[in-house]
Amino acid sequence: MEYRRCGNSGLKLPAVSLGMWHNFGAIDSLENARNILRLAFDSGITHFDLANNYGPPAGSAEETFGQIYKDDFKRYRDELVISSKAGWGMWEGPYGDWGSKKYLVASLDQSLKRMGLDYVDIFYHHRPDPETPMEETMGTLDLMVRQGKALYVGISSYSASETEQAVAILKRLGTPCLIHQPKYSMFDRWVEGGLLDVLGNEGVGCIPFSPLAQGLLSNKYLKGIPEGSRAAAHRGNGAIEENAITEANIAKVAKLNEVAIKRGQNLAQMALSWILKDQRVTSVLIGVSKPEQVTDSLKCLANTSFTDEELTLINNILD
């Protein structure tokens, strides 16, 4: 495993981290989840990424992790980086969503209880709140560090300008913004419109989610929507939309697949390598449904450099 320093901090993260957005809820197999986490850790993936609303139902991914942590990982706590988030709807009423101090403090306390932890290594505000003053939200993140409930804090899905504002407030409070978690893939490159530059200039790490565009950047959709896929299951909560699987996108995927084969990779591996080619990216989050997908994804680390010719070809395909 390759470990990369997170921005200007002292923390290093594995180049590949495990996201628990899907396949770790109460509706999923506990034994499969355990096997995935064990293999990931044995492979050098020391960072497990969660959020209060991961499941389904909401909260159940943290409960699953807590059960496995208690049985398998508690002795390795100091070798793990565990993150959680709050910012999306978690419970009914006015105090279970967005970015108020009331919501964030309560949510982190609940997350710690579900996971059986004294603290998380990273706590994120999951999305910007247009109504709550950013000083309140960032002040709450600062409070969590001072209370010892989080070692570091981060933000997710903030625009470049929102990120600059959040970073400045946290810096003023004395709790630096460690990391930003944006959606980023070959098909969704909004972070290249200024956010990556802000993160690089401010010394903030970057850990993209959905690097495979919910599975579109894999071989599974080359022939349409397969049975048992997330698109076929209509599970929602971030699952790929059927309207993303267009003839035009499938044609692009087929051409990208040809580039990957010439690089000695499958398409998913190349998509992960493509994210990691940028040194401003600390780590990339993978989502898996079975242990062998962990092993397959890690092969991306064998080749994270691209020739100018390859990058031009990829850009032409995506244009």
Tens digits of residue pLDDT in 278-313:
999 999 999 999 999 999 999 999 999 999 999 999
Question: Which residue type, as a one-letter code, is found at position 274?
Answer: W
- Whether the pLDDT of residue 234 is over 50: the answer is no
The DSSP-derived string for 227-263 is TTSHHHHT--TTPPPGGGS-HHHHHHHHHHHHHHHHT
Mean pLDDT of 211-217: 95
For residue 227, pLDDT over 90 is answered with no
Mean pLDDT of 216-232: 73
Q: Each residue of 184-198: pLDDT tens digit? A: 999 999 999 999 999
Instruction: Tell me what pLDDT residue 280 has.
Output: 98
pLDDT tens for residues 170-183?
A: 999 999 999 999 99
Beta strands in 102-148 (DSSP E): 120-125
Position with higher pLDDT, 233 vs 249: 249
Distances (CA, A) of 42 to 97, 112, 130: 36, 24, 41
> 10 Å Cβ neighbour count for 149?
18
Mean local confidence (pLDDT), 116-135: 98
What is the value of pTM for the model shown? 0.94
More confident residue, 232 or 222: 222
How much of the chain is in helix, strand and coil states, percent to nearest 5?
45, 15, 40
- Using 50, 70 and 90 to split pLDDT, how confident is the model at 225? low
Distance CA 241, CA 234 (A): 8
Q: Rounded to whole angstroms, how far apart are CA atoms 129 and 133? A: 8
pLDDT of residue 239: 61
> Which pLDDT score, from 0 to 100, does residue 226 have?
65
Tokens, residue 221: 């959709």
DSSP H/E element including 104: helix 101-115
Domain positions in the chain: 3-215+278-303
For residue 57, cis peptide bond before it (omega within 30 degrees of 0): yes
Q: How confident is the model at residue 220 (pLDDT cuts 50, 70, 90)?
A: confident
Task: Assess whether pLDDT exceeds 70 at residue 232.
Answer: no
Tokens of 17: 């981290």
CATH code matching the domain that covers 3-215+278-303, chosen among 3.90.1300.10, 3.20.20.100, 3.90.1170.50, 3.90.550.10: 3.20.20.100
From residue 178, give the alpha-carbon distance in Å to each of 6, 26, 77, 121, 154: 7, 31, 20, 11, 5
The pLDDT of 248-254, averaged and rounded, is 93
Assign 17 to helix, strand or coil: strand
Three-state secondary-structure class, residue 290:
coil
What is the band of 235 on the pLDDT scale with cuts at 50, 70, 90?
very low
Residue 246 has pLDDT above 80, yes or no: yes
Closest CA to 160 of 185, 188, 191: 191
Mean pLDDT of 18-37: 98
Is it the case that residue 27 has pLDDT exceeding 50?
Answer: yes
Average pLDDT over residues 77-105: 98
